[in-house]
A and B are shown apart, each in its own frame.
Chain A
C-alpha cells in the first residue's frame, strides 16, 4: 500500500498526472501513426487507437516511478478511457447538438436539390444560366452562404462573397477553376446547421400540452403500473412456489421462467402479431369465449392495457425469482414460533413475510421502475407507430409513446424529419429525469450511504 496525498490536493494531483500521461500518449501515438503512414499510405485510421495504446504503456510505467500512488488509479484506467472515448465524448457532442438545428436537411453536406450546372468566367466568379438566388434556393441574398463546387474528381467548399444577376463571386479561386478538361462543373448549396440557443427547448415547452406532458404522464403511469402489476403477481407466485409442501415446485419454477429466457426482441415482435385486431391469436381465442375483437393495438386505452399485459408476461419471471430469493433468506424458525404462538397463516404472512420481503424488495422495485421508464424495446417494437395520434400533437409523439421512443422517432425516423437537434434536446430531458429517479432510488435504498464517507 502506498500513501496518497490526501484530500482535494491528492485528487487534483492524480487527475493532472493521469491527464498528462494520456495526453502525452495521444500526441506520441498520433506522431507514431503519422510516421508509419508515411511508409504505408492507406493505413486505416483505427490503428491510431493501437499506436496510442503502445505509447501509453511506457508512459504509465514512467509516471508510476515518479508518483507511486498512481498505481491505484491505473486499475480504473481501462474502464475510464473507454468511458471517455465512447460515452463521454458522444454525450458531449450530443449535448452540443441539442442547441443546434442539426437535422436531415441541415447536416453540413451539399444539398443535391440545388445542384446547378455552372462555369467559371473569372478565377473566382461563377456564371449561372439563370438567377443564382432561385437556383440555389437561398432567398433574397446568396452572400454569406457556403457552396460546394465540383466536377470530375475535384471538389471544393467555398463561401459566396458577392452576387450579380447571373453570377456569384466566391471568396477564393479553387485550383481546378482554370484547369482545362475538368469537364462540366456543378455547384450546390451547403446546408449548415447552426447554433440556435434554447429554441429546441422552447419548442418542446410551447407544445407541452400535446407532446411533452401527455408523453411524460403516460411514461410515469406505464413504469409505475408495470412495476406494481409484475411485483404483485410475482409476489403471489413466489409465495405459492415457496411453500415447501407443494410438489413439483422446482418444475414450476423452471417452466415459468420461460419468458425471461427468450430474447425480448423476438418475443415483443411476436406479441405484436398475436395482438392484431383482425387476425391475432388472442382475439380468436377471445372469440371462442364469446368476446368481440378487442382493438388491442389501435385504440389508445386498449393499446396501453396491451402494453401492460405484455410487460406482465415479460417481467413476471424476474419478480418471481426476486421474491423467491428474498423469501429464501427468511429463517423457517420464525414461522414455527409464530405457529406456536397461535398466529394464523395470514397473520404470519403480514407479520413476517411482508416486512422482510419489503426490505429486500425496495431496490428491486426501484431498479425495475428505472428500467421500465426507458423500456424502449417494448414500446417501440410492440407499437412502432406509437398507437393512435394525440389530437393536434406531433407525428412523433403518439398516445403510447414514452419519452425515449419520442426522442428516437424525432431524431431518426422519417416522420420526425430526422430532427437530430430536437431529438438531442429530448434526450437531455430524459437524462435529467432518469438522474432524478436514480437519486431518489439511492436516497431510499441508501446504496451510497456507506460510500460517502
Chain B
C-alpha cells in the first residue's frame, strides 16, 4: 500500500515535470527570432557564460585542494579538501543569487540618476564596457539629480524647515556614528541607549516636520512635483491605520484569549471569516457610506474604510500571543485588588509591546502598498498617496516618466526599507509567536 502510494507520487511528479518540459519546449519554439532594441546580441553567449561558470568552479576546486594540502603540510594533519570546496561553491552560488535578486534594484537606482529616460529609447550608448553598451548595466556617464529635482520642483521651503532638515541630517549622522561606535566597542553599555534616543528623536522630528508641511508650499505645475506631499500623506495614513489596528484589536484579542463567555467561538468565527470577502470590491458601498458622512477626499474617511480590513488578522495574532503568556501575572494583580480592566491595562499591555510593534508594522507596510481604495476616495493630486502617484506614472506615459518613476521609487522605498531592516527582529518573531503556534 505504502509502496503503491510512493510509486503513484513519483509517477505524478514525473508526469508534471514531463508536461512542464514539453510546454517549455513549445514556448521556446514559439519565441520569434527578434532582438531587443538597442541590445548587443552575442550568438551562443550562454555557452561562454556557462563555461566561465564552470571555469570558476574548477578554479575554486584547485584553490581548495591546494589550500588544504598546504595547511595539511603546515599543521601536519590529514583533511579532505571537500568541505572547503563545498563552502566556497556555496558562496559562489549565493553571490550569483544576490546579483540576480539585486539586478532590478540596480536598474531602477541607475535609471533614477539618468536624466535621459533611457528605458524606451533607441539611443545607442558609447562605452568600452559591453555590459553598459548593451544597456544591461546603467550608463552613469551623465548621472545627475534631474529626476529627483523634478520631484521637488516648485516646493517653497521656509527657513525653519531648512533648519529642521539640517537638524535631522545631524541626528541621522549621529545615530549612524553611534552604531559604528557600538560595533567597535561592544563592551560600552550606554551607547545603545543613546543610539535609540537619537533614532527616536529623529523619527519624532521627521514625523512632526512632515505633518507641518502644508499643501500651499507645493506650487509646481507638474503632477510629480507633489511627491513630498504624497509621502507625507502616505506616512500619515499608514501610521494612523497601524495605530488603529493596534487600538481595535488589543482588547478583542485579549477577550478571545482569556474570557470564556457563551458565543465566544461563534464570534471568533465571524471575526475571522468576515474578512475573506474581497474588501475593496465593496468600494461602491464604502464610497456611498463615506459620501453620506461627508468624508470623501479626507484621510479620516480612508482610514475608516481601511479599519474594517485590519481587525481580523490583528485579533487572531494577538489572541495567539496572549494565550502564549501565562495568566498568573494578571491573576496576581487581581488578587492585589486590581480590576480585570486594570490588569489588562497595566499588566498585560506592557508585556505585549513586541506584538503591538508587529501588528503596527504589518498594517503600516500593507497600507503603504494599497492603491485601489485610496485612488477612489482621495481625489485631487494634493491628497494622493505615493502608491496612487506611482500608479499614475505608469499608466499611459511610462516611457517619458521612467526616470521620474525610478526616482520616486527609490525615495518611496526608503521608509519601508528603513522600517523593515530596523525592526526585522519583530517581523520574524511576530510571525513565529502569534501566527504559527506549536
Contact = CB atoms under 8 A, between A and B. Distances in A.
Contact of B262 (A11, A86, A424): A11
A6 B260 CA distance: 10
B: interface residue count bin: 35 or more
Contact of A79 (B248, B259, B282): B248
B41 A290 contact: yes
A86 to B, nearest CB: 4
Most A CB contacts (10 A, CB to CB) among B104, B307, B315, B344 go to: B104
A45 B268 contact: no
Contacts of A85: 289, 304, 308
B413 interface: yes
B46 A289 contact: yes
Interface stretch (B155-163, B183-191, B208-216, B394-402): B394-402
Interface stretch (B94-102, B144-152, B165-173, B217-225): B94-102
Interface string A235-262: 0010010010111100010111111111
Interface string B262-278: 11011111011111111
A79 B249 contact: yes
Most A CB contacts (10 A, CB to CB) among B259, B285, B372 go to: B285
Interface residues of A, number: 122
B31 interface: yes
Contacts of A426: 281
A335 to B, nearest CB: 16
A181 interface: no
Given A269-B390, A279-B119, A360-B438, 10 more contacts: A45-B292, A102-B284, A258-B105, A262-B417, A269-B394, A289-B42, A290-B45, A325-B436, A438-B273, A448-B269
A329 interface: yes
A384 interface: yes
A294 B281 contact: no
B242 interface: no
B405 interface: yes
Given A273-B398, A364-B436, A263 B120 contact: no
B61 interface: no
A286 to B, nearest CB: 8
Contacts of A263: 365, 368-369, 387, 412-413, 416
A82 B252 CA distance: 12
A115 B200 CA distance: 61
A240 B49 contact: no
Interface in B381-438: 386-387, 390-391, 394-395, 398, 402, 405, 409, 412-413, 416-417, 420-421, 424, 427-428, 431-432, 435-436, 438
B390 to A, nearest CB: 6
B416 A87 contact: no
A295 B421 CA distance: 36
Nearest to A435: B276
Q: Identify the 3 closest CB pairs spanning chains A and B, nearest first.
A: A87-B308, A75-B255, A11-B263
Interface stretch (A91-99, A137-145, A390-398): A91-99
Contacts of B37: 278-279
Interface string B328-371: 00000000000011001000000000000000000001001111
Interface stretch (A148-156, A207-215, A407-415): A407-415
Interface in A152-210: none
B30 interface: yes
Given A292-B33, A435-B276, A45 B293 contact: yes
Given A76-B252, A82-B311, A290 B135 contact: no
30 contacts: A10-B262, A11-B263, A11-B266, A45-B293, A46-B301, A71-B340, A73-B261, A75-B251, A75-B252, A76-B255, A79-B248, A82-B307, A83-B311, A87-B274, A90-B285, A90-B289, A91-B274, A94-B282, A97-B285, A240-B90, A254-B424, A255-B98, A279-B121, A284-B134, A284-B135, A287-B41, A384-B395, A404-B278, A411-B281, A431-B276
Given A46-B293, A427-B278, A261 B42 contact: no
B390 A7 contact: no
A4 B262 contact: yes
B431 A322 contact: yes
Most B CB contacts (10 A, CB to CB) among A71, A93, A273, A293 go to: A273
Contacts of B247: 78
Contact of A363 (B32, B427, B435): B435
Nearest to A363: B436
B229 interface: no
Contacts of B265: 448, 451-453
B243 interface: no
A257 B424 CA distance: 10
A114 interface: no
A59 interface: no
Contacts of B75: none
Contacts of B45: 287-291
A288 B435 CA distance: 45
B289 A86 contact: yes
A287 to B, nearest CB: 4
A7 B14 CA distance: 54
Nearest to B432: A325
Interface in B86-138: 87, 90-91, 94, 97-98, 101-105, 107-108, 119-121, 130-131, 134-136
